[in-house]
Amino acid sequence: MVKKYPPIHHKVKHMIHGADYNPDQWMRTPEVWDEDMRLMKLAHSNSMSVGIFAWAALEPEEGRFEFGWLDEIMEKLYKNNAYVILATPTGARPAWMSAKYPEVLRVQANRRRNLHGTRHNHCYTSPVYREKTRIINTKLAERYGNHPSLVLWHVSNEYGGECHCELCQEAFRNWLREKYDDDLDKLNHAWWTAFWSHTYTDWSQIESPAPHGEFLVHGHNLDWKRFVTHQTLDFFKHEIATLKEITPDIPVTTNFMGTYPGLDYWKLAPHMDVVSWDSYPMWHSKDNWEVGCSTAFLHDINRSLKGGKPFMLMESTPSATNWQPVAKLKRPGMHVLSSIQAVAHGSDSVQYFQWRKSRGSSEKFHGAVVDHVGNENTRVFRDVADVGKILEKLDDVVGTTVRPEVAVIYDWENRWAIDDAQGPRREKKDYQLTCERHYKAFWKRGIPVDVINMDCDFSRYKLLIAPMLYMVRPGVAERMEKFVESGGTLIVTYWSGIVDENDLCFLRGFPGPLRKVTGIRSEEIDALYDEDYNYAVFDKDNPLKLEKEYKTVELCDLIHAETAKVLATYKEDFYAGRPALTVNEFGKGKCYYIAFRSGDDFLSDFYGRLIEDLDIQRVLDIDLPEGVTVQKRSDGDNDFIFVMNFAGDQRTVDLGDEELTDMIDGGQVKGEITLPAYGLRILKRPVR
């Protein structure tokens, strides 16, 4: 297994620190360009992402290209020793294109074609849009492919949305024909169209889901979502093909949006050289450490998307995020902490949206490195410079990774299916939240976790957690059995093993193909009203040595132990005495089935025991106060340890007797350290 990855591009020797840079907004006052270069140095920035949304500046009229301004910017960045991340401009298109070729404009699910406006408002299928994209991408690659500053292609920007135009309908039908071997009967079976007389008798009758048409056939919805991912990927591949042909040595990325529901990022990731994403948590919106934990979960998805390869934090805000309901400022310390958090989880960059605050339009109040005042004398600018200074000390961390012993499965298709299901609750199905809650038990103890999907290789983990694995695709249960047989520990919960990849319920007993490994059968599931609860009571002498009664809420699965042993039972209601937690010994390993939804208390205690039993390593072998976590990266020789306090007040951490080196001031550290609110330390030790 790789211990240290090569850098994003061989020219990149440092952590990347930069921003979306939109000099095309400042064409009327090009003197700010020189000012930008001066400020970049002061901000300890070494990189700029240029040309995102610059199509109108690059091709002001069809076929007339203006590269003069970009030549000048590239030259200035080169002289400033900056890395350039160059974008393809396809996230938005010039007005002339929409006017001349209306087919490039997106059609909504209600079949109305959009007018020109906003961004991400184009059809990925349209041959015209694809051709215009090919032309502009070719020009950019030919002109700047050999530029000494270019290190990465930033392809488009945050792909997303969907188009329901006739071209897309046709493409959808073709995709279906291929998927179902041109056999309409197969499709009718997969979509269970006999229900409500929805049987299709000709491919031409099939359309995308629509609010005024078909939207209740779950297999149909699922396939449409898969198609949207497929078609977006197809467009992405089209963009990449042009770039790779001309600049085979320049890596490509496109920026993701956390768990954006519209695209299955696992399908896109294999086509990227490096994964990058845009992180906009609502810092300080609740207990801040909870926000820190949810954000950590997202970083870990991005690292896991390429099996542990470092990713990039492509965008984050230096202060406020103006599209959120409340654009709260980051409290002192929070900007450094949130930036370094990304690095702690495997990012080789900290980048912002955007460098210079726009003067007009919808993002003029979005945080930026350089504010409207236009100089370096702001709190935010100083925070950014502080991040830059820290990153300059982290050259050794570039390319390093983490190899967790624990993985949580968070799977897009599973999420789609759960969200679409009517029942067992309409609200608070909370798939993602549930995954995050299981994850939290490890984050709090400073134990690294991978966040994978159900198709990943499980064999590298000791503990595999599959919360609410409602959909089980073919082969997954068999791979889980193998994992447990050979000594792994698997956690399965309520509302698992319900449907197959077409959203068709498994017959002959839930949890379907997971029945063997879990050793249980689920007969029915009780959904509780918000104010209802029950309890899970542990058997005396249970091997987990759990003694408390734990509140069960929202969903209680009513199961029968088949080969599994019962560890806890429900306390009340008509299912008092029925199993609530079971364990099934299977080969050399064990599979636990958690039948109920709980609060954090149970998950924390339960995983606490498993961590001991399985000897899962904490990064530092110490107990952590609330709000503090520890993450690490390693190059095989050294561990780089990030101790981070997400709590809003000071915390003391006892590091114990081990001597560690502070990577920022070079001093030796051991024993008690005090972290101010949002404070952190970056420490180094030889691998044990």
The catalytic site residues sit at: 158, 315
Phi, psi at 14, each rounded to 5°: -125, 170
| The binder of ligand GLA chosen from 67, 69, 280, 365 (CB under 6 A) | 280
Measured from the CB atom, is 315 or 411 closer to ligand GLA? 315
Cα dihedral across residues 680, 1, 15, 260: positive or negative: negative
Q: What are phi and psi of 686, to 5 degrees?
A: -65, 145
* Smaller CB separation from Zn ion, 125 or 316: 125
User: Per-residue contact track with Zn ion, 154 to 193, x per CB under 5 A?
Assistant: ---------x-x-xx-------------------------
Nearer Cβ to ligand GLA, position 129 or 353?
353
669: β partners: 660
Q: At closest approach, how far in Å is the CB of 280 from ligand GLA?
A: 5
Interaction partner, residue 163 (Zn ion, ligand GLA, none; CB < 5-8 Å by kind): Zn ion
Q: Report how far residue 74's alpha carbon sits from residue 56's, in angstroms, rounded to the nearest whole number.
A: 18
Separation in Å, CA 648 to CA 166, 288, 368, 380, 488 = 53, 7, 24, 19, 38
Other residues' Cβ atoms within 10 Å of the Cβ of residue 637 = 11
Beta-carbon contacts of 290 under 8 Å, excluding residues fewer than 6 positions away, are: none
Residue labelled with tokens 């292609």 = 153
Residue tagged 């404009």 (tokens): 105
Residue 5 binds which of Zn ion, ligand GLA, none (CB < 5-8 A, kind-dependent): none
Residue nearest to ligand GLA (CB): 278
Among Zn ion, ligand GLA, none, what does residue 35 contact (CB within 5–8 Å per kind)?
Answer: none
Is 365 an interacting residue with respect to ligand GLA (CB under 6 A)? no
Q: Which is nearer to ligand GLA, 278 or 411 (CB)?
A: 278
125 binds, among ligand GLA, Zn ion, none (CB under 5 to 8 A by kind): Zn ion
Q: Which is nearer to Zn ion, 163 or 305 (CB)?
A: 163
Instruction: List the single partner that 447 binds among Zn ion, ligand GLA, none, CB under 5 to 8 Å by kind.
Output: none
Alpha carbon distance 139, 137 (integer Å): 5
The length of the chain, given as a count of residues: 688
Q: At what angle do helices 600-613 and 431-443 cross, to 10 degrees?
A: 50
Q: Which helix (H) or strand (E) holds 352?
A: strand 347-352
| CB nearer ligand GLA, residue 363 or residue 396 | 363
By CB under 6 A, the count of residues binding ligand GLA is 10
- Indicate whether 278 belongs to the interface with ligand GLA (CB under 6 A): yes
Element (H, E) at 154: strand 150-154
Closer residue to ligand GLA in complex, CB, 383/526 = 383
Binders in 125-144 for ligand GLA, by CB under 6 A: none
State in angstroms the smallest separation of the CB of 16 from ligand GLA: 17
**Under rule CB under 6 A, residue 436 binds ligand GLA:** no
Alpha carbon 271 to its chain centroid, in Å, reads 16
How near is the Cβ of 477 to ligand GLA at its closest, in Å? Answer: 38
Q: Which does 366 bind (CB under 5 to 8 A by kind): ligand GLA, Zn ion, none?
A: ligand GLA
Q: Is 431 helix (H, G, I), strand (E, B) or coil?
A: helix
- Minimum CB separation of residue 321 from ligand GLA in Å reads 5
Distances in whole angstroms, Cα of residue 506 to Cα of each of 467, 501, 512, 584: 18, 10, 5, 21
Residues 300-359 that bind ligand GLA (CB under 6 A): 315, 321, 323, 353
Helix, coil or strand: residue 115? coil
> Using CB under 5 A, which of 39, 48, 54, 123 touches Zn ion?
123
Query: What is the token pair recorded at 114?
Result: 């959009």
* Amino acid letter for position 46: N
Give the one residue of 47, 149, 157, 208 binding ligand GLA; rule: CB under 6 A: 157
Return the one option of Zn ion, ligand GLA, none that residue 321 interacts with (CB less than 5 to 8 A, by type): ligand GLA
Residue number with CB closer to ligand GLA (321 or 502): 321
Residue 493: CB minimum distance to ligand GLA, A: 33
Shortest distance in whole angstroms from residue 77 CB to Zn ion = 36
| Tokens coding 533 | 């609860």
Beta-carbon contacts of 428 under 8 Å, excluding residues fewer than 6 positions away, are 530, 554
C-alpha 393, offset from chain centre: 27
**Minimum distance between the CB of residue 169 and Zn ion, rounded to whole angstroms?**
8
**Judged by CB under 6 A, which of 366, 590, 651, 681 binds ligand GLA?**
366
Q: Which does 287 bind (CB under 5 to 8 A by kind): ligand GLA, Zn ion, none?
A: none
Angstrom distance (rounded) from CA 439 to CA 98: 46
Pair of tokens at residue 180:
């179902």
Q: Other CB atoms closer than 10 Å to residue 115's CB: what's the count?
A: 10
Radius of gyration of the chain (CA): 26
Residue whose CB is less far from Zn ion, 208 or 401: 208
> Binds 123, which of ligand GLA, Zn ion, none (CB < 5 to 8 A, cut-off by type)?
Zn ion
Residue 348 · residue 276 · CB < 8 Å: no
**Chain residues that interact with Zn ion, rule: CB under 5 A:** 123, 125, 163, 165, 167-168
**Chain residues that interact with ligand GLA, rule: CB under 6 A:** 157-158, 278, 280, 315, 321, 323, 353, 363, 366
